[in-house]
Every structure is written in C-alpha cells, then in structure tokens.
Amino acid sequence: MPVAASENAKEVDKLFNFMMTIATGLFLIVEGALVYSLIKFRRKKGDTSDGPHIEGNVALEIVWTAIPTVIVFILAFYSFQTYNKLGGLDPVNSRNVPPQQIAIDNNDDQIALGIGKSFGKEALQVNVQAMQYAWLFTYPETGIVSGELHVPNNQPVQLNMTAKDVLHAFWVPQLRLKQDTIPGRQSIISFIPSLKGDYPIVCAELCGPYHGGMKSVLHVEDQDSYEEWIKSNQPVQEAYLEKTLTVDDSSSNEKFLTSYIENMDTEKDTVAELTHNYSHQDS
Amino acid sequence: MTTIIESTKTQHQQRKWTDYFTFCTDHKVIGIQYLVTSFLFYFIGGALAEVLRTELATPEPDFITPFLYNQVLTMHGTIMIFLWIVPAGAAFANYLIPLMIGTEDMAFPTLNALAFWLTPPGGILLLLSFFVDGGAAQAGWTSYPPLSLVSGIWGEEIWILSVLLIGTSSILGSINFLTTILKMRIKEMDLHSMPLFCWSMLATSTLILLSTPVLAAALVLLSFDLIAGTSFFNPAGGGDPVLYQHMFWFYSHPAVYIMILPFFGVISDVLPVHVRKPIFGYRAIAYSSLGISFLGLIVWAHHMFTSGIPGWLRMFFMAATMLIAIPTGIKVFGWCATIWGGKINLNTPFLFGFGFLTIFTLGGLTGVMLSAVPFDIHVHDTYFVVAHFHYVLFGGASMGLFAGFYHWFPKMTGRMFNEFLGKAHFLLLFIGLNVSFMPMHELGLLGMNRRIALYDIQFQPLNEIATIGAYILGLSTLPFVINIFLSLASGEKVSRNPWRAYTLEWQTSSPPAIENFDGKPVLWAGPYDYGLNSEEFDFEKVFGDTPTETSSNSK
Amino acid sequence: MQGSAIQKSHETTHVHHDHRLFGLVLFLIAESSIFLGLFSAFIVYKTIMPIWPPTGTPELELLLPGINTLILVSSSFVMHKGKAAIKRNDVSGLKLWFGVTALMGFVFLAGQMYEYFHLEMGLTTNLFASCFYVLTGFHGLHVSFGLFMILAVLWRSSKEGHYTSESHFGVEAAEIYWHFVDVVWIILFVLVYLL
Ligand code: HEA
Ligand code: HEA
Ligand code: CUA
Ligand SMILES: [Cu+2]
C-alpha cells in the first residue's frame, strides 16, 4: 500500500491488514490440507483399491460451516465499523440524490451521494468537474480555478464533484478514497488530510482512450504555503484564466499532457462557463 | 439427419466429422460443437490478451494506440466471458447431462441445436466489428453509458446484438437443461442420486433464467439510446446512467456464478474418481449450489460501491456478498476432505482439480476482501480487481474446465490423452497464471487503475513480470493443442470406463453410440460409491465390454 | 424428425408432451424477467425523478386504453372457453372461441396503433415518452406473437383430427401465453396509465 495521507486511510489499512491475516490463515489451512494429502495419500503403483468409504461427517461439516460464519460476521462487523468511522453512513453525504435536481439548482448546501463525514460549512469547499481528460477544481470562496488541487493540511475538505461528459472517478490512492463523478449528478467526498505531500489524482473509471492519462496532483500543504498559493492566484483571476490550465497542468505530468493538449481548447470554454456560473451565484 | 433414423440399437454407428458442421440435434454433437467453438474463442481471446500484455510491458502506449487498446480490452473481456466460459459450461452440460441421467437426448433437441447455432454468428459478428466505422466497442465489457453511447456507435451496436444473441442462446439452453434434469432421469435415479454436476446445472440454469433477461432488457434500452436517440441512460437527456449499472450487474454478478457453478459440478465429479473416495458431504455440496444461486441474486451492487448508492445499501450488499463465502467454503472444505485419506492418482485431471482448489480459494478470498466497502473503495477499478477475477475465472472456471476436459476426453473421443503433455500443460498454466496475475494484486494496491494503455512509470517492473507470465500462459496452449491432435490421431484406445468411475456416462461405449445406451442403463450404484466393494469389482465384466468393440470407427 | 426417429427405435418416448408445457412455463419465467427489468426501470425513474412525468408530457387519455384493457382481459375468458371446447373434443367450438379471441386481440392492437398516432409525443420527446413507447411497444410485440399463435392454432385446427381432447398442446400453449400477455398488460396499465 502507498503511504496513508489521512487518519481514515490508516483505518482502511488496519482493515486491510486484518483481512489479509485472516485470508492468509484460511489459505494456509486449505493449501496445507491439500499439499499434505498430495504427499501423504498418493496411490502406490499397482494399487487399484479404493480409499475408505466415507460419505461425510455431520459434526465436521457443522464445524466448517460455523467457523466461516463466525469469521464472516466478525469481518462484516469490523468493516461496518470502519465504514462508519469514515462517515459512510453520514446522513448528509451518503444520501442519494435524484439526477435532475442538481442540474436545476446548483447551490452549495445540498446533499449528495458520496463518502466521508460531512463537515458542513466548516470545510473548505472545492467544486470538481471531471471531463475527458482533465480535472478542473474551482474554489467558490475565492473564485480560483485550477487544474490541480491544493488543500491545507489537517483541515476538512469537501469536494463537490460532477462530470461534464461521461463517468469518471476521483481517486487518490494515498487517501484510499474513490468516488465516481456522474454527469448530471453531484457526488461528494470529504476528508481531512494529515500528511503533507504531493499525491496523484487518478481517474479510475474508463472514460475513453486517454483514460490512463487523466491525472492531476493533490498538494497537501501547510497553511502558509497554501495561503501563498491562494494569493498568487487570486488577484489575476480573469486574466489568469487562459493560463491556469496550461501552467498548472503542464507542471503535473508533461509527458501525458502533450499527447492531448488539443483537448484543452474546449476546456477553456468550460472554464469560462463555470466562472460565469459562480459569479452569478454570488450576486 | 439420416444417420439418426438408420441407427439401431445393436450397431455402434459413429458420427461423420461433417455432422459437426450441421444443424444436428444430437446432444453429443451439440456438446462437441459448443466445446470446439468455445476453445476457438479461447485462443482468440487469449491472443487478444497477449496483445494487451504486450502493450502493458511498457508505460507508453507504443504497441497499439490507446484507442485500439480499449477495443481489444473490450473484446478480450467479452469473448472470454460470453464466448469461452459460458459456452464451455453449456458444452459440458449438453454432452453430459443426458448421459449422466441415462436418457438418449435432451428434452428439446431442436431447441438445443438452435441455441447452439446462435452462438457462432454472435461471435463472428463481434469479431467483424473491429472493421466497422469507428471500430469495435470500446467501453469495456461492462459497456457503461454514457461512454458507450459516445464512442463508436456501430461497434457498440454490434456488441449489443451479439451479446443479445448469446444471451438468448443461454436462456434456451437453460430451459433444456432444467427440463431434462427434472423430468427425464431414469426411474431409479432420484434427485439425490444424481451426479453433482446435474445439481450444479440446476443452480446455473435457474440463475440464467432469472437474470439473463434483465441484461437483455438493459441492452435493449441501451440500444434505443444509441440508435433511436432516447435517453434512458443518457444524462444529457435526463436519463440515469447508474440505473444501467444496476441492471447490468443484476445479470453480470449472477453471471460470474453462471460461469463457476458448472465447474464446481465438474470438480465434484472429477475428484472422487481420481482419489477413489466418495464425495464428502453430497447433500451439503448439492444444496450449497442452490444457496450460492440465491445469494448471487442479491449482491449485484458490490460492483458499484463507488458509483454512488446510499450508505445503508452499501452495507446490505456488503453483508450479503460476504455470506457467499459460507456455501462456497462448504464446498471447498468438502472437496479437501474428499481428497484427504484417498488414494490419489496423480494424473492430469486430478492435477487440474488440485490447481482449481488452490487458485480458486485464493481468488475467492480476495473476493471477500473486495466486498468490504472501505477497502473496495480503495481498490475498485484497479488491478487488484483484475487479479481477483482472473484468479477465479482463469484459475477457477478455466482450471475446472480443463480438469473436466481431460477427465471426459476418453469418453468423448474413445482415446486416451498423453499424460506427459497433459502434465506439461498443467505446469505451464499453473506457473504462468501465478506469475502473471499475482503481481497485479500489488499493482492495484499501489494505485494502478485498470483499463489503461498508458501508466505511471513506477509500475513498470511489476507489469513486466505480468507480461512474462502471460507469455508463459500463451506457451501453455502448445502442449495442450499438440496433445489433442496427437491423441485424436494415435492415442491409446480406451474401454468404456478407463477411470473405473460409477456415474452412468461410463456405462456406455467410448465414444457413446448415437442414442447413448444399448437398451436401458442400469443404476447399479450411487454416483460416488467408492470403497464399498469395487476392489473385487470387475468393471469390464459387468458391462460386458472390451476396448476393441468401439474402436473400429472412432475418429 | 428427430422425435419420430426415436419413437421408431424406442418404446419409451411418449413423454414429450408434458415436457413442452414445462418448457413453456420456464420460458415464460424468463419472459417475466425481461418485463420485470423494464418495469423496475420505470419504477426507478418514477421514484427518483423530481417531476414525473416530466413537464410537458401530454396527459394520457384513459378512455381508449381502458376499453382496450377490458377487451384484452375478457379475451382471456373467451379463449378459455375455446380450450374447454377442445377438451370436449368440440373442434368447431375451439375455432369459434379462438376466432373471437383473435378478433379481440386484433382490436386491441388497432386501439394501440390509434393511440400511438394520436398522442402528442414521440419516442424521444422525453424519458416518460420513451418508457411509454418501449413498454407498450414491447408488450404489443408479445400480443402480436400471441395473435400469431392463435392464428396458427386456427389454421391447424382445420386439419382433420389435429387437435383432440387428448392432444392439444398447441391450444394450451397459446392459451397460457395469452394469459401471460394479459397479466403483463394489467401491470403495465396500472403502472403507466393509472399511477
Ligand atoms: C467466476 C467468476 C467469479 C467468482 C466465482 C467470483 C467470486 C466472488 N467475487 Fe468476484 N468478480 C468477478 C468474477 C468472480 N467473482 C469478476 C469478473 C469481477 C469484475 C467484473 C468487472 O468489474 O469487470 C468481480 C468483481 C468482484 C467485486 C467488485 C470489485 C470491484 O469492482 O470493486 C467484488 C466485491 O465484492 C467481488 C466479490 C466476490 C466474492 C465475495 C466472491 C465469492 O463468491 C468468493 C467465495 C469463495 C471463497 C471465500 C473462497 C473459499 C472459501 C473458504 C476457504 C471458506 C472460508 C472463507 C471465509 C470465511 C472468508 N468480485
Ligand atoms: C474467463 C475469462 C478470462 C480469461 C481466461 C482471461 C485470460 C487472460 N487475461 Fe483477461 N480479462 C477478462 C477475462 C478473462 N481473461 C475480463 C472479463 C476482463 C475485463 C475486461 C474489461 O475491463 O472490460 C479482462 C481483462 C484483462 C486485463 C486488464 C486490462 C485492463 O484493464 O487494462 C488483462 C491485463 O493483463 C488481462 C490479461 C489476461 C491474460 C494474460 C490472460 C491469459 O490467461 C490468456 C492466456 C492466453 C492463452 C492461453 C491463449 C494463447 C493463444 C495464442 C498465443 C494464440 C494462439 C493461436 C492459435 C493456436 C490459433 N485480462
Ligand atoms: Cu476520466 Cu477515466
Ligand atoms: Cu460480483
């Protein structure tokens, strides 16, 4: 597993290690029995006799039904607990929202499908739009539009995600978080990063030929450098718009981007459209 | 057709090779037709996999374009599932069910032939779609809209059409299997003295009957979206893409059990013969198939944990999915106990049975890990999932298939296969499989997503190992193919019952005569009565048969 | 051909008759699954969409489909009389009642057609319209097939002694199929028109 960049990610790792232990144990039991039989119970040459006529053993069968049952219950319970800790059952974030509603009223405090505890207004809100083949992050409070995601360390973040064309999925392996972005619907993830660093943002839902190149970077920074980043981007918002994508994106992964830089043209329109929407909302 | 009418009870009329290219209603011919067709598609699907792996040997999309990669990927998944494993299950069912229950054919022979003949057109159509405008379907074998609606319309439409054809074939087949098993057993055989393969086909057919039509419904709606401009699943027109996923997985999760259950049955029938011991816990294994079928119908959303479904629903689907480990565990432990204390004949069918148990257990255990939502959120749509399903599909279903193939090869052809080549096949397959798919677990955990032609450079070493494994797998087909042709041409002739097995199909000649049995078969023992008195039991005497009887005209 | 061949060489094979009925029932289970899929899709749309049917959908008229429903439902009873007739070996009774059923089925289809042409929406107008046309259309396809089966029975029944009180699988199959189509319609009518 890659490094865990949040407390929740550590919970997932704990669950994984627990399951891994159980699975290894079970596999060793089964495989041990098999290999032992393979060595011990080989037929001797010329022996045409049969093995013992044993058709079953009820007690034994009950035992090996009961043990997996117990394991399964423990596993389900533990996963449930972990899930709950991650905020999976959070009444706000995990609710399903009808598709059209979002398309109609695009306001801030709506509910959506997703994962993570909802922190409400406390959290840093970022609107995410996924498109073939790029990510677009809009900070509604400051109006910043960026191709990469910058967040301050140790502070709740809420991503309000949607997609422009087809399904995509937002995945940061280091956060162990993944959520599909769906055109016409909004999905939310929220998290608290706890480890500074730059982590890949990967698209995890097949979205076309360049699905593999649809990447961005999540910068988890300390408060100072985060604010600096905000400052350096904010004032030149309008003028900067043209550059946002090119500047920020090219720093992420030049190799991938060169191959479909032509796609960026269409995205400029989207950027314009988006900013228009948000300024409209503020007024 | 005329051969059927002329056949009499005493003559062992054999099939001409041309019969296999006709609309023949003999279940054995249909069984072989299915088997050969599915193997052809296995080679095609496998060759496509080799293309995928070659591309993935390096991070850049240099071997084929990403655009082509997605087509190859989609075709690989579709062919392997709908044209290899599913028809191969139908092949065994067709060939074996009437023989195992002592009847001369299926309940509806014409329907049966019709079902088979829907398959090749479906497959050929699918392959031809590479050449249409816009290329073959490229949205993965799951074909999620809206992507499937915006990439290569004609390829996609052909994909829908051929899956519909194969689905129809599968439904018609299952009607036949159910009717035959339930209604046409010889009088002495009650449900609990059927071979376990028949039980597993009962479970499989029920699943097919209930779930395949829902896929058909989904695909018809998708097709309307694609061609007629409706928007059932198209968010642009107010539709709901997630609904498609529900409908798709309502079929496709049961489909994974449709793919594995027949081979659970095969394993249950192969193991006892070669370890000379009764199956351990007949009823438990029989009923657990039904349990798996039932649970299989209510777990579909575990493929959609990140698609956005309400939290409590995720929990329900997680719990239901985990429950499947229980009936499956009953089977696995039962098989281990069958082997335990037996007299193992370490031949090719047994080795594949052993391989099946090992690899399937591994794949099943990663399946249970996947069903834990918090973990699945991390690894969904990564190579961890790819590893899981190749372990269960390739290591499970395909290994079981090969076990059955070698086990019944003498019955089907009247000739014994070459043991050395069989073992070589197993060894290469077993090694290649692990070399190829084991690293994929790690890749997924580290962050490599699936269905990508270009990936991050850090994943290259593991991918290279996987590619080498895939080449070993490709190599493993060599001894297999040589073995078939060698044995067909010059394999040792076999008697009715070379394995000294107890199920009814071994009572007739090898290969069986056109109407299966000379007169009525007798049920003189349970299917797995090893260890009672067979030490003194002379199989040849009981059946009054010598190997030479059938040898004159086997092909 | 195959069947007759077997009968020649074996004494046992008279059992095919009831198997076909069993097979038909299995087939209808599969059919129900398709409709189940389509109906669930409809119900899902209905529950998750904020406005359903979407604004701008013309009001569905109830009178004509209502009459149509009555016709289809009562045709099931008419048809049953046909089967009862053949059970008494009364072939002309069979012909009469099946003839009437066919006529009623035809009227139903004509009514559907009339409705299609007079609705102010097309297949692609909106989600509701698409659902409406696909559901009723798919059902109409089944009615047509049922009608085809009835006509086949009528045609065959004109052959001397084709159906007897003992052997009339075709009649039974057509009847069961027709009842199935009928039940599907009732669900569809309630779902699409009434709810
Ligand atoms: C033959 C096919 C087959 C089989 C048998 C299975 C079996 C199982 N599968 Fe798998 N699966 C697939 C084929 C199959 N799967 C495919 C093709 C996909 C991907 C589709 C795609 O996206 O393209 C997939 C994906 C998939 C996912 C979704 C992953 C994702 O996309 O995020 C999940 C999640 O729950 C899952 C779970 C399971 C489980 C719990 C089982 C269980 O049935 C396993 C049960 C077996 C065992 C558990 C082992 C033996 C038991 C014991 C030794 C007893 C003791 C065990 C315990 C107490 C745990 N599978
Ligand atoms: C039963 C099912 C089955 C089987 C047997 C296989 C077999 C193999 N699969 Fe497959 N695979 C799937 C089902 C299966 N797969 C599915 C469902 C998907 C998902 C698709 C999707 O995402 O939509 C998938 C996806 C998939 C991927 C993921 C691609 C991606 O996500 O980007 C990869 C990558 O390595 C892969 C590799 C392989 C390999 C190396 C084999 C090997 O085992 C194959 C070995 C090959 C052979 C043994 C044949 C060799 C033949 C020749 C070399 C030619 C010889 C020709 C003649 C003799 C005429 N498969
Ligand atoms: Cu976007 Cu994959
Ligand atoms: Cu599944």
Determine the distance separating the centroid of ligand 3 and the alpha carbon of B380, expressed in angstroms.
14
Dihedral sign for Cα A207, A210, A213, A217, please: negative
Asked whether A214 lines ligand 3 (CB < 6 A), one says yes
Q: Which helix (H) or strand (E) holds A205?
A: none
Do residue C50 and residue A98 have CB atoms under 8 angstroms apart?
A: yes
Q: How far is B264 from chain A (nearest CA, A)?
A: 16
Q: Which atom of ligand 1 is nearest to the CA of B77?
A: 23
- Residue B73: its pLDDT value, please? 94
CA distance C185 to C179: 10
Share of chain C above pLDDT 70, in %: 91
For B407, other C-beta atoms within 10 Å of its C-beta total 24
pLDDT value at residue A120: 67
Instruction: State the Cα–Cα distance between residues A146 and B39, nearest whole angstrom.
Output: 52
pLDDT of residue B83: 94
- Spatial distance between the Cα atoms of C75 and C97, rounded to a whole number of angstroms: 9
Please tell me the predicted confidence (pLDDT) of residue B541. Answer: 52
Average pLDDT over residues A210-223: 90
pLDDT computed for residue B496 by the predictor? 81
Query: Given C1, C36, C134, which is nearest B1 (Cβ)?
Result: C1
Between chain B and chain C, how many beta carbons pairs sit less than 8 Å apart? 123
Least confident of A118-132, C5-19, C154-168: C5-19
Edge-first strand listing for the sheet containing A215-221: A149-152, A215-221, A197-203, A168-172, A177-181
Ligand nearest to the CA of A163: 3
What domains appear along chain A, each with residue ranges and CATH number? 91-242 (2.60.40.420)
Nearest CA among B171, B186, B139, B132 for reference residue B155: B132
B552: CB partners within 8 A, 6+ apart: none
Nearest one of B404, B399, B397 to B429, comparing CA atoms: B399
Q: How far is the CA of B46 from the centre of ligand 2 (A)?
A: 5
For residue C30, the chain B residues in CB contact (below 8 A) are 171, 175, 209-210, 212-213
Residues of B whose CB is below 8 A from A48: 500, 535
CB contact under 8 A, C2 and B105: yes
**Stretch A262-277: mean pLDDT, rounded?**
43
- Distance CA(B234)–CA(B160), nearest Å, equals 16
Measured at the CA of A39, the angle between CA A35 and CA A41, to 5 degrees, comes to: 105
- Residue linked to tokens 């779902």: C191
pLDDT of residue C7: 35
The answer, for A80 touching chain B at a CB cutoff of 8 Å, is: yes
Helix segments in B380-459, DSSP class H: 383-390, 399-413, 419-446
Residue A115, pLDDT > 80, answer no
Residue C145: give the domain boundaries. Answer: 2-53+60-194
How close are the terminal C-alpha atoms of chain C, in Å?
50
Ligand 3 center to B57 CA (angstroms): 21
**C-alpha span between B352 and B62 (Å, rounded):** 37
pLDDT, tens digit (0-9, with 9 covering 90-100), for A183-216:
888 888 888 888 888 999 999 999 988 898 898 9
H-state helical runs in B65-152: 66-78, 86-101, 109-128, 147-150
Whether the predicted pLDDT of A245 surpasses 50: no
- Closest-CA residue, ligand 2 atom 30, reads B451
Q: Calculate how far, in angstroms, residue C136's C-alpha sits from the geometric centre of ligand 2.
A: 41
Neighbours of chain C (3+ CB pairs under 8 A): A, B
Angle, helices B348-371/B241-275, rounded to nearest 10 degrees: 150
The ipTM of this complex is: 0.87
Contact A36, B385 (CB under 8 A): no
How far apart (Å, rounded) are the C-alpha atoms in residues B398 and B355?
10
Does A50 contact B374 at a Cβ distance shorter than 8 Å? no
Angle between helices B399-413 and B348-371 (to 10 degrees): 150
Q: Give me the DSSP letters along C128-155.
A: HHHHHHHHHHHHHHHHHHHHHHHHHHHH
CATH of the domain at B391: 1.20.210.10
Tell me whether B188 touches chain A (CB under 8 Å): no
| Other chains touching A, judged by 3 or more CB pairs under 8 Å | B, C
**CB distance C48–A99 less than 8 Å?**
yes
Q: What CATH number should be reported for the domain holding residue C34?
A: 1.20.120.80
Q: How many domains are contained in chain C?
A: 1
| Predicted confidence band of residue A271 (pLDDT cuts 50, 70, 90) | very low
CA pair distance C108, A146, nearest whole angstrom: 60
Interface touch A98/C51, C-beta < 8 Å: no
Q: Which listed ligand is nearest to B470 at the C-alpha?
A: 2
Select the residue of C19, C126, C127 nearest B107 (Cβ to Cβ). Answer: C19
Q: What is the pLDDT of residue B3?
A: 34
Which pLDDT value is given to residue A94?
A: 53
- Which of A116 and B378 is assigned the larger pLDDT? B378
Chain C contact set for A104 (CB, 8 A): 50
Rounded CA-CA distance C19/C29 in Å is 15
Residue in C closest to B240 by C-alpha: C45
Which residues partner with B118 through β-bridges? none
By DSSP bridging, strand A215-221 and strand A149-152 are parallel
From the list B171, B179, B231, the residue facing C127 with the nearest CB is B231
CA distance B489 to chain A (A): 28
* Phi/psi at B353 (5° precision): -60, -45
Phi, psi of A251 (to 5 degrees): -70, -25
Of A264, A120, A283, the residue nearest A188 (C-alpha): A120
| Average pLDDT rounded to a whole number, residues A140-155 | 87
Q: What's the A113 CA to ligand 1 centre distance in angstroms?
A: 25
pLDDT tens digit sequence for A38-82: 888 877 777 777 777 777 778 888 888 899 999 999 999 999 888
Ligand 1 centroid from CA A122, angstroms: 40
Q: What global pTM score does this model have? A: 0.89
Average pLDDT score over residue span A217-224: 90
| Tens digit of each residue's pLDDT, chain B (555 residues) | 333 333 334 444 566 777 777 788 889 899 999 999 999 999 999 999 999 999 999 888 888 888 899 999 999 999 999 999 999 999 999 999 999 998 888 889 999 999 999 999 999 999 999 988 888 888 999 999 889 888 888 999 999 999 999 999 999 999 999 999 998 888 888 888 899 999 999 999 999 999 999 999 999 999 999 988 888 898 888 888 889 999 999 999 999 999 999 999 999 999 998 988 888 889 999 999 999 999 999 999 999 988 877 777 888 899 999 999 999 999 999 999 999 888 888 899 999 999 999 999 999 999 999 999 989 999 999 999 999 999 999 988 999 999 999 999 999 988 999 999 999 999 999 999 999 999 999 999 999 999 999 888 899 999 999 999 999 999 999 999 999 999 998 888 888 888 888 888 888 877 887 777 777 777 777 777 777 765 445 555 555 444 433 333 333
- Residue B395: alpha-carbon gap to chain centroid: 11
Residues with CB under 5 A from ligand 4 (ion): B 253
The distance of B9 to chain C (nearest Cα, Å) reads: 8
Range of the domain at B514: 2-6+15-554
pLDDT at B513: 78
Residue B135 has a pLDDT of 84
For residue B135, the tally of other CB atoms under 10 A from its CB is 20
Measured CA to CA, the distance from residue A198 to residue C124 in angstroms comes to 47
Pair of tokens at residue B390: 């190749």
Q: C7 φ, ψ to 5°?
A: -60, -30
CA of B26, closest CA in chain A: separation in Å?
35
**Confidence band, pLDDT 50/70/90 cuts, at residue A92:** low
Question: What letter represents residue B481's amino acid?
Answer: V
Give me the residues of B, 260-299, that contact A with CB < 8 A: 275-284
In our burial notation (b when 16+ CB lie closer than 10 A, e otherwise), range B53-62 reads bebbbbbebe
Q: How far apart are CA B88 and CA B39, in angstroms?
A: 8
Average pLDDT estimate for A74-91: 82
Number of domains in chain B: 1
Q: pLDDT, tens digit, for every residue of B497-512?
A: 888 888 888 888 778 8
A104 touches chain B (CB under 8 A): no
The span from the CA of B501 to the CA of B492, in Å, is 19
Q: State which amino acid sits at residue B96.
A: L
